[in-house]
Structure 1
Amino acid sequence: MTRPGTMFEAIGGFDSIDRLVTAFYKRVGEHPELTPIFPDDLTETARKQRLFLTQFFGGPMIYSEERGNPMLRRRHLPFKITPTRKDAWLECMEKALVEAEIEEPYRSVIVEKLTMTANHMMNTLE
């Protein structure tokens, strides 16, 4: 169930999430800082990201229904997330937001929320 007045609803729902995730993983799969910590086949990773972002932006709780509590930091601990990789991840996301035609002010709010999350994911010094 989608709650009215959410970021999910404001940006256009599932279609916008799909465009964003597709644009994002196209960049991740080519980024020299990120490819070492991502699988060669990004299909399942992108699917999980669609579930997560849907829920994170206020849409249906489909991530938790399938995978339980997100526990993002714990799930990311096996991967060396350095400040450089965090910045590369955010750069890919910012470019994907533009490509997916996520309009302002939503784009800036999303970047702000994801920056806080990305900062929390860092677990390794350079």
Structure 2
Amino acid sequence: MSVYEEVGGAPTFERLVHAFYEGVAGDPELRALYPEEDLAPAERRLRMFLEQYFGGPTAYSQERGHPRLRMRHAPYPVTLDMRDRWMRHMLAALDTLDLPEAHAELMRDYFLRAAHMLVNTDEGHPPHPGPSLTG
């Protein structure tokens, strides 16, 4: 069984990503990186990506092609502060799921590695007013 299946499949990832974007919505600095009026499209893209990454449906790649995370995030200034804000909200969302510790640790590890890999800008660079980070 995949991690996707072991943690409860689609409903778990829906709850995770929805809780994450509730945090983003209340964080003005991080929210500025998502210029779309409605966070729903970014929420959907991140949910599909995470479901695929953790062994679920491949809807993300079928719809959007290879994830290419670094390339997709390159136009946006991802600072250490933005990484830390993203992690704070993702870890808080993960904590709402009450997953077995082995699964939670595996997901935390992935989120930390991915978030760190995407840092591409020194502090002080203003947010880019472009499409959302998961676009």
TM-score above 0.5, yes or no: yes
Say if 2:117 is the partner of 1:120: yes
The Cα shift of 1:103 comes to 3.0
Aligned CA RMSD, in angstroms, stands at 1.1
Q: Which has the higher helix share?
A: 1
The 2-side partners of 1:103 and 1:25 are apart by 23
Matched, 1:34 2:30: yes
Q: Does 1:81 find its partner at 2:78? A: yes
* 1:1-126 equivalences in 2 (<5 Å): 5-39=1-35, 40-126=37-123
Q: CA offset at residue 80 of structure 1? A: 1.1
Count of matched residue positions in the alignment of Structure 1 and Structure 2? 122
Q: Whose relative contact order is higher, 1 or 2, with alpha carbons under 8 Å and at least 6 apart?
A: 2
Q: CA deviation at 1:72?
A: 0.7
TM-score (norm 2): 0.86
Identity of aligned residues (%): 39
* TM-score of the superposed pair, with normalisation by structure 1: 0.92
Structure 1: give runs of 5+ residues left out of the alignment. none
**Counterpart-to-counterpart distance in 1, 2:56 and 2:8:** 11
| Structure 2 unaligned spans of 5+ | 124-135
Hey, which bits of structure 1, 4+ residues long, moved more than 4 A?
A: none
The 8 Å contact of residues 23 and 100 in structure 1, kept in 2 or not, is answered as no
